[in-house]
Structure 1
Amino acid sequence: MYSDYHIHSNFSPDGKSSMEEMILRAIDLNLKEICFTDHVDYDIKYMDHFIVDYDKYFESLNYYIEKYKDKISIKKGIEFGLQKQLFEKCAEDVKKYPFDFVICSQHAIDRMDLYYKDFFEDKDVYEAYDIYYREYLNIVKNFKSYNILGHLDLVKRYGPYDQILDDDYFIDIITEILKQAIYDGKGIEINTSCFKYNLPDLTPSRKIIKLYKELGGEIITTGSDGHHTGFLACNFKYIYDYLKETGFNYICTFDKMKPIFNKI
């Protein structure tokens, strides 16, 4: 049975399904465990409201954890969209609330969300990727209140270019990011939104996943990045098989910010 550790409900402004709808679908799919990771993205142009009402969020989570405890394990997570000005604010949130799991993602740079394309204006593809990865490296060097890095090569999803650059152009920076994460006891996720967006590779790429393994990384989660019930656990069988073939023996789940290694 699979564990989906990147799920958004309508507590995220872009979520399309309620918590209970997501839970019932996960039960139908016979998932072992799910973790809600709704969005907290502070200080972004056009959408400063992209945050979670924590009190209502945890009230709902606690209610459904108890209601469905005999059918599925439900964990309390969050996905932070990190920027360099937000390290202290997000770290304080983690201290204040009882999270099981925190995703560290980079959705925006200098308040410009990659989704809205502002960031890419007046930049060629190489410059945009280079800035993205350097900013991500700065995040992992200075922010430690997380468990895994979310969709590490997200820039490929939103870049409005005719090509997706090979990881080899940025392999030194990517290696630094992964080494820092491993040193800090952090992991990466495989995010199956790559299938939703018809990307030519996994997210992150197979090259990055293999590099993480070669560098000694062992903490890996699987997440659909589903914003509605129809995308839960998308292509997880393929992903679990791929990880096993690549040499990973375990998928991680989390409890109170501590990894639990589950045999594949």
Structure 2
Amino acid sequence: MFDYHVHTTFSPDAKSPMEEVIKSGIEKNLKEICFTDHIDYDWDGKGNDIRFDFDSYFKTIDGFKEKYKDRISIKQGVEFGLQPHLIEKYQAVSRKYDFDFILCSVHSLRKEDLYQGVFFEGRPQQEAYNIYFEELAQVVDAYEDYSVLGHLDVIKRYGGYDVILPLEHYHDFLVPLLKKIIHLGKGLELNTSGIRYNLGDFHPSLDILKIYRNLGGEIVTTGADSHQAHQVAYDFPHALEALSSIGFKYVCTFDKMKPAFHSIEKLLR
């Protein structure tokens, strides 16, 4: 198995140092782990950044690659929290540094961080979802330096609404977006944190992954979105079984931004 959404103390919201995370991956028999710590520029609309020192990050990863080379493969990735007005800034980073893998995520809308909840105050649920998918579409139309979209329907995690908005309420936003990423040769991640957050499904939900598959989408990664070492590879056997059940034959890993395909059937043996 492969965990391609992993945070360490290079991210301010994570609690486990990199080596502790690696050891957890080895204990869980991961073949490969990809670190995807946060870069979120202007996350609050006030010019504040969530970021790490790239040189220190890569140096640390390189040291552990050598130390654990006989036990687990380690890749250097990043999770970009993109916003439409920051595309050029992220392009400069992705073109300067040699990443194996880049997650394209949206964590802020209209310069408001989703986690803090200010964006949702006084805003009807349908409007919040509409804005999310509109801004995500703007990002996808303007930015191509990434591997897969991270936790595509993350909007359902926030807002404190009584129910998760059904798919038919944003289906018309979703299909053109999925067609676009397929055309560009990009993919989706199956992020198991939706199960960990008791949302009853993955990010994105299986019905979205079915649409992606039916449209011809083939590139999919598995990620736990772990922020503590014990969360690495969370619920991965069920995730692989779910992918297989809706027709996916492979999951992907990445090397220097190029995907490699691995048989789900073999991983489940």
- Separation (CA, whole Å) in 2 of partners of 1:243 and 1:171: 20
- Separation (CA, whole Å) in 2 of partners of 1:153 and 1:216: 19
1:92-107 matches, cutoff 5 A: 92-107=92-107
C-alpha distance after superposition, 1:21-69 (max 9, x if no partner): 0001111111000000000000022782411111100010111111111
Gaps of 5+ in 2: 265-269
Deviation at 1:233, TM superposition (A): 0.4
Matched to 2:167, the amino acid is D
1:1-264 matches, cutoff 5 A: 2-45=1-44, 48-264=48-264
- Separation (CA, whole Å) in 2 of partners of 1:47 and 1:13: 17
Partner of 1:65, secondary structure, is helix
- Separation (CA, whole Å) in 2 of partners of 1:197 and 1:23: 23
- Separation (CA, whole Å) in 2 of partners of 1:230 and 1:20: 12
Contact 2:106 2:136 in 1 (8 A): yes
Matched to 2:25, the amino acid is A
Gaps of 5+ in 1: none
TM-score (norm 1): 0.98
Partner of 2:134, secondary structure, is helix
- Separation (CA, whole Å) in 1 of partners of 2:231 and 2:114: 22
Percentage identity across aligned positions? Answer: 50
Deviation at 1:109, TM superposition (A): 1.2
Contact 2:39 2:49 in 1 (8 A): no
Deviation at 1:110, TM superposition (A): 2.1
- Separation (CA, whole Å) in 2 of partners of 1:155 and 1:221: 20
- Separation (CA, whole Å) in 2 of partners of 1:53 and 1:14: 16
Deviation at 1:190, TM superposition (A): 0.6
Matched to 1:167, the amino acid is L
- Separation (CA, whole Å) in 2 of partners of 1:160 and 1:242: 27
Runs of 4+ that moved beyond 6 A: none
- Separation (CA, whole Å) in 2 of partners of 1:192 and 1:47: 31
Partner of 2:146, secondary structure, is coil
Q: Please tell me the root mean square deviation across aligned C-alpha atoms, in Å.
A: 1.0
Deviation at 1:163, TM superposition (A): 1.5
C-alpha distance after superposition, 1:114-156 (max 9, x if no partner): 0000111121011001111111111111110000000000000
- Separation (CA, whole Å) in 2 of partners of 1:95 and 1:18: 27
- Separation (CA, whole Å) in 2 of partners of 1:49 and 1:251: 32
- Separation (CA, whole Å) in 2 of partners of 1:76 and 1:5: 10
- Separation (CA, whole Å) in 2 of partners of 1:86 and 1:148: 18
Partner of 1:116, secondary structure, is coil
- Separation (CA, whole Å) in 1 of partners of 2:53 and 2:110: 24
- Separation (CA, whole Å) in 2 of partners of 1:31 and 1:48: 35
Q: Please, which moves more after superposition, 40-49 or 218-227?
A: 40-49
Aligned pair count? 263
